[in-house]
Amino acid sequence: MPVLWIFLIVLGIGALGYVVARQRALASVGNDPRHLHSLPSYYGYMGFLFATATALLVLIIWLIAGPMVIEKRVAANLPAGVVEQAASQNLLMAEVRRVANGLDNAVAMGVLTEGAASNARADLTDMTARLKEAGQVITQNVTVPVLRAAQEMRQANRTSKTWMAVAVIALAVAGAALAVLRAQKDFRARNVVERGVRWMLVGAASIAILTTVGIVLSLLFNTIEFFRIYPASEFFGSLTWSPSFGGGSELGIWPLLWGTLYISIIALLVAVPIGLFAAIYLSEYASPRLRSVAKPLLEILAGIPTIVYGLFALLTVGPLLISVFGDNGLGWMQSGTAVMTAGLVMGIMLIPFVSSLSDDIINAVPQAMRDGSYGLGATQSETIRQVVLPAALPGIVGAVLLAASRAIGETMIVVLGAGAAARLSLNPFEAMTTVTAKIVSQLTGDADFASPEALVAFALGMTLFIITLCLNVFALYIVRKYREQYD
């Protein structure tokens, strides 16, 4: 039974629970709702909630945990020698999964009969051929243990699905029945329903924590896996980055960190002065009309997707820089993709980020501070430079740090605009690459997922996450402290 059907059936039982529980509650007071503790509909909601909440929770847990349990059992049943032959158990299980899916699809398409698919003595070459013919992706010829395991997996999956349906529907019916039994006039249905809703709200709020936990765990496990097959001392100590998918790669993080840093610095050199001066002008000098035009215009820059900036770097700014600094001009630049290109474009992207944050912060400086300065005969610029900016400094530092964290984590601009060569160089007109760009290239390439060349992406991701996290926490702390000061 497809999951969608189970889901709909549970909802149906819930709806039934609503109607029956409401009726029963009303009947208990002779159809005079004034004698009920709660409004009649709350008894109905209770019926619905009791029927669906536990059942759907079990459904979700079963859907997530079921395949894991089955996989573990199937893996345990694999003959001992097979695992050693394959590169790793993960790969082997992936193969088993593929074959099992292939059998399912082939049956669904009518290429195989159900009997043939479950036949333990099926002819291997014939099976492989049929699966391939049905368009199912099989990487190698199906071997006996893999086919057996796949068939075992299919069997277990089917059993699991049946039991799941039974269990979930039974739970739904039981829940609905319980609610209907409780639907009496003195029962505090509203309180029960509200407690239930409250738990759902808590659950929704916890998703933020779950996401963070998910990020940390997925980075951590794979990073540990990476360091098991590649020495951490090399990763943090080597000054070269040269992955080769055949093995024997050198995966030193420093060239990537340097590229990231260099591009971010250039971006900030562009964004901070322009953004800050724009913010100062908008908040201190601009007439309301200019402000109402210029501020949204600048903020458009923040709403443009980064892929657009990436393309802008690759196809507009790169060629432009080449025509000035290239061989026909000053001769400093070899190709359009370079640190300068990516940094410049990233700087443009960050202008509105710096300006709108600084604008808020400058506006938070109390007017009394400015009046005090004007009252002493200071000009507006003296007031801004010597009173407003020093007062706003912590907030502005926070804003710049947030912008830096943005720059470090930015991906598409550097993937398209910075080039692919990892090198430690001071020349901003050379191509370099960054942590984010390499995460993309290592995980979208053809590398085997268990190889250090692919797993290194997780170590890079971990590094990126930690750096940006520290910057963010620090910056948010500063900005928060700053806001409190003038609240």
Q: What part of residues 283-302 is at the interface with another protein (CB under 8 A)?
A: 284-288, 294, 297-298, 300-301
Quick one: which of 147, 263, 408, 447 contacts another protein (CB under 8 A)? Answer: 408
Q: In sequence order, which residues have a C-beta less than 8 Å from that of residue 237 and are 6 or more positions away?
A: 252
Under the binding rule (CB under 8 A), the answer on residue 200 touching another protein is yes
Calpha distance 440→44 (Å, rounded): 51
Q: 475 is written with which tokens?
A: 């910056």
The residue within the footprint of another protein, chosen from 19, 170, 277, 330 (CB under 8 A), is 277
Min dist CB 122 to another protein, Å, is 25
Does 456 contact another protein by CB under 8 A?
no
- Footprint of another protein on residues 28-67 (CB under 8 A)? 64, 67
Interface with another protein in residues 175-194 (CB under 8 A): 190, 194
Cβ neighbourhood burial of 322 (10 Å; 0-12, 13-18, 19+): buried
Which residues between 64 and 93 bind another protein (CB under 8 A)? 64, 67
- The residue (of 77 and 381) whose beta carbon lies closer to another protein is 381
Q: Which stretch binds another protein (CB under 8 A): 124-132, 134-142, 160-168, 432-440?
A: 432-440
Please name the residues in contact with 142: beta carbons below 8 A apart, sequence gap of 6 or more. Answer: 99, 124, 127, 128, 131, 150
> Looking at this protein, which amino acid is placed at residue 10?
V
Contact assessment for residue 387 and residue 362, using Cβ atoms and an 8 Å cutoff: no
Q: Which of 432/439 has CB closer to another protein?
A: 439
Rg, the chain, Cα only: 31
Q: Tell which positions 359-388 bind another protein, by CB under 8 A.
A: 366, 368-382, 384-387
Q: Distance between CA 45 and CA 29 in Å, rounded? A: 18
Nearer to another protein, 120 or 202 (CB): 202
Segment near another protein (CB under 8 A); pick from 104-112, 240-248, 323-331, 405-413:
405-413
Helices 452-486 and 389-409, interaxial angle, to 10°? 160
Choose which of 254, 332, 465, 474 interacts with another protein (CB under 8 A).
465
Q: Please, which of residues 343-362 interact with another protein by CB under 8 A?
A: 348, 351-352, 355
Query: Contact at 8 Å (CB) between 268 and 351?
Result: no
Interatomic CA distance for residues 44 and 27, integer angstroms: 13
Closer of 24 and 438 to another protein (Cβ): 438
Among 186, 208, 247, 484, binds another protein (CB under 8 A): 208
